[in-house]
Structure 1
Amino acid sequence: MTMEYSSKIKELSKLPPKVKISLPVFSRKAKNTEHFYTLFGSLTELTTKTEENGYKLKKPETPTKELLEEPELITTINIGDKKLRSVACLSEEEICTTGYEVSDMKCFNIQSSLIKTIKTKSGEGPNDIAVTGDGDLVYSDWKTKTLNKVKNGQIEEMIRLQGWVPENLCVTSSDELLVSLYSDDKTQPKVVRYSGSKEKQTIQFDEEGNPLYSGNGVIKYVTENRNLDICVADNKAGAVVVVNQAGKLRFRYTDHPSATKNEPFKPRGITTDSQRQILTADYHNQCIHILDQDGQFLRYIDNCDLKEPFGLCGDKKDKLFVAEWTGKLKKIKYLG
């Protein structure tokens, strides 16, 4: 051992005990290989964090579709019910909607023809609707505090809550439910993940113990992004709140400065697309905000004669459906 190498070892031994040194791991290659690495061995590859609190975090992907310079209005369906607030795609051929003061869910084909009407058991309008991986409609009922599934024309109760009221919901890529809830006294909000009828995860506070969402009974639409982030449009707070799959806060989007959008940002519906972009309805400014997966504003959809956009959903081909408070449903192409 040379004097110089020996002195280096002594210096390292004097470091505080809490200091950890991570060195590349040298691996000697087998003989007679034709690879370049035969001469030099190899270094272990640097890796990024892929797990948190037991959840695997998805890596970013490069977008494969571009935003159109001018979004196109494809179809307008006059639902007939005012105060539309939710829309869900049952399939590429069938869309369901529900409104604020109606006790049923209406399903239409893409030719605008009414296929069926489904009435709730309680006689009250659903707070929100979504579609399972099997193509069944699910809805939340504030009056009975239940989450229900419509299967083969029959309504099945999935979950009954106590002390909490279910508001908005979505079906995840793993066919679980994400539901925004508020307490009976409307002071506590949270998002809960259900696997079947079992409560699997509660998302309520940030790392400092502060509430993630505004404490009230005002709508909080929820959706899952392709990277498994959970996105909530918190209307009262005027923000899109995004946490990762483990429930850790990633960012809050609170609006984009604009000379033409002067009304307060109070997001309603929210959805995501294949490019991991987040779309949220800006009711008062008659537009849709498009954000990237990290909360950076990309553009507005503010043409297509939008009037009071409320509920949103996207189909498998990235066509956007917008349920307007006026009673119209619009299908929009915004990706090339």
Structure 2
Amino acid sequence: MMDPRTSAQDVMRCDLCEIAVVQMHCDTCLVNLCKACVGEHMVSDESKDHKVVKFQSRKSTPLYPGCTSHNKQQCTMYCDQCDIHVCTKCIASSQHLGHKLSEILQIAEGKKDKIIKEVTELRETIYPTYQDIASDVQNRMSQLKKEYGDLSTAITKHGEDWHREIDKLVKILKAEVDEMKNTQLQTLQKHLDEINKTMSDIKDEIYSVQMVTDTNDLSKLFSVPHSLINIYRNLPQKLEPILPKFIPGKIKEVSKFFGALSSSSLTLDKHGYSIKTTQKSPEAGSSPPVKQLLDEPETVTIINTEYIELYEVACLSDEEIWTSGGDNSMKLYSINQGSLLKSITTKSGKIPEDIAVTKSGDLVYTDYRDRTVNIVKNEKIEEVIRLQNWRPRGVCSTSSGDLLVTMYNDDNKQTKVVRYSGSTEKQTIQFDDKGQPLYLSGGYYRYITEKKNLDICVSEEVAGAIVVVNQAGKLRFRYTGHTPAPKNKPFSPRRITTDSQSHILTADYNNECVHVIDQDGQFLRYIECGLSDPRGLSIDTNDNLFVAQYGKRQVKKIKYLQ
């Protein structure tokens, strides 16, 4: 027979004999016992009031706290006024006379419920929030490393540009030196040639006169011109070459012109992090009422516009909507009357790419041709953001009052989402955890919205996808359409919006419908309602859907939630 102490154990053994199977439990000492050992345990410490129960009923006997004032007394009551547990002797004393007393088990149950709630909140709310914060910090660190790498690369490239320019400048200066040298040498050579010719003439004259003076023929002597030497006494001009001087710039001042780094710092975001909440949380008292999808969505009203081509719609209120189309104007319409209330012309005179309404009720629009994001306040246009080497596409106003802008680079090789507080860049979302681009490159239609849980949703027409990331920019999911589609054509998402239920809605231009998906990317239904060329979308405070129809130049108001 195998030794039960050393053999594999598949059941619990008695803590005293360590052989027999556990049948009983002492709630006072928290000891597991077999029936045979119960008596031995009861007499092992007679100072204790042993509560031995069946093993299945362990921990059923409450262990009352000992009284700090009266030795060996258990506290079964609780003094609410003094906020301490008390024994019967304490109650009999004058110390707690007239105080409200409660059973300690009742107080313990309340405390236990509170602890359970707090642990539940820690597990389901606070810990996941810290996970998101840790992910956010890690993403920021990864982004920081990349951006510092980009900074070093930019400095290196700038240095290479300077080297090229300096080499080019050295080449030009050396060419100028050679040209000046050759010009002066040619002038001096011509002067030398003239002197050599004169010297040859003098030699010839010397020889001729020498011949005359050596003869006795007087006629030849008188044939020599008077003052022959005077011709050569006028010496040639002296040419003194003046060399150019090279005046080098001060090397110590190179940094002044090359460029310099601004200071770096870490700042505290005044908005900070917020506790992650879900609709399941018992503490989420501000959660909106649950609304179910209607079996059949219905068209409530139609607003006709004056555009030749209608692009976008944005709800200002439950009575008014902003619109934009194929010209340089943004028009405000009354929903109930269908009348034009106001028209604003873009600052650049170009077509607005996207429009949105801020929390304060101001109109925002992007001008990708002018590279700007603008805000309309009291019918006056203020330029908020001007981009360099990038062009904006979609824009939305967040719950915190920030602006989220989709944009692409001039080389059509980069696409990103940038969060702005006013004109200050706060966050860039461009790559996933593996360093791969989150969004398809190129200047295609690309729109954006923020969900109730602060997820950021971007529609990509050419990619045929909705890309959803969390507040920290970490990819949550991609939605690539649903089959069968109403017209069996490829998914072509345009404008995107979200409602109080955290549904994501996007206009499918090809299939002439609106996709409704839940907050985790699961397809829920199509909204058709006779839509034609749907492009712009917006939701009012009552969860009514507004759809801008491109060709019909109409905005349809649709009810799709109960």
> Do the two structures share a fold, i.e. TM-score over 0.5?
yes
2:470 aligned with 1:244 = yes
2:250 aligned with 1:171 = no
Q: Is the 8 A contact 2:507 2:514 kept in 1?
A: yes
Within 5 Å, give how 1:272-311 maps onto structure 2. 272-302=498-528, 304-311=529-536
Q: Structure 1 residue 36: deviation in Å?
A: 4.5
**Residues 36-45 or 226-235, more deviating:** 36-45
Query: Match of 1:61?
Result: 279
Q: Structure 1 CA distance, aligned partners of 2:275 and 2:316?
A: 28
Q: Structure 1 CA distance, aligned partners of 2:558 and 2:480?
A: 24
Query: Match of 2:119?
Result: 45
Q: Is the 8 A contact 1:57 1:227 kept in 2?
A: no
TM-score by length of 2: 0.53
Q: Structure 1 residue 82: deviation in Å?
A: 3.1
Q: Structure 2 CA distance, aligned partners of 1:84 and 1:231?
A: 23
Q: Structure 1 residue 38: deviation in Å?
A: 8.4
Residue type of the partner of 2:342? Answer: K
Query: Match of 2:296?
Result: 70
Q: Is the 8 A contact 2:486 2:513 kept in 1?
A: no
Query: Match of 1:258?
Result: 484
SS in structure 1 at match of 2:419:
strand
Q: Is the 8 A contact 1:58 1:228 kept in 2?
A: no
Q: Is the 8 A contact 1:177 1:194 kept in 2?
A: yes
Which of 318, 324, 329 is 2:543 aligned to?
A: 318
Residue type of the partner of 2:418? Answer: V
Q: Structure 1 CA distance, aligned partners of 2:501 and 2:485?
A: 28
TM-score by length of 1: 0.87
Q: Structure 2 CA distance, aligned partners of 1:307 and 1:145?
A: 31
Which of 320, 338, 342 is 1:94 aligned to?
A: 320
Q: Structure 1 CA distance, aligned partners of 2:517 and 2:497?
A: 11
Residue type of the partner of 1:50? Answer: T
Give the 3 Å change call, closer, same or farther, for CA 74–38 of structure 1 in structure 2: closer
Q: Is the 8 A contact 1:57 1:228 kept in 2?
A: no
Q: Is the 8 A contact 2:485 2:511 kept in 1?
A: no
Structure 2 unaligned regions, length at least 5: 1-14, 19-63, 66-83, 86-102, 138-272, 281-288
Which of 124, 134, 137 is 2:363 aligned to?
A: 137
Q: Is the 8 A contact 2:372 2:386 kept in 1?
A: yes
Residue type of the partner of 2:107? Answer: H
Max Rg structure? 2
Q: Structure 1 CA distance, aligned partners of 2:544 and 2:111?
A: 54
Give the 3 Å change call, closer, same or farther, for CA 35–310 of structure 1 in structure 2: same
Q: Is the 8 A contact 2:391 2:407 kept in 1?
A: yes
Q: Structure 1 residue 3: deviation in Å?
A: 9.0
Within 5 Å, give how 1:208-247 maps onto structure 2. 208-247=434-473
Structure 1 unaligned regions, length at least 5: 6-27
The CA deviation string for residues 92-135 of structure 1, in whole angstroms up to 9 with x for no partner, is: 22101101x20010110111100011000111111101111111
Residue type of the partner of 1:35? Answer: I
RMSD of Structure 2 on Structure 1 (CA): 2.3
**Residues 259-268 or 237-246, more deviating:** 259-268
2:107 aligned with 1:35 = yes
Give the 3 Å change call, closer, same or farther, for CA 35–186 of structure 1 in structure 2: same
SS in structure 2 at match of 1:50:
helix
Query: Match of 1:206?
Result: 432
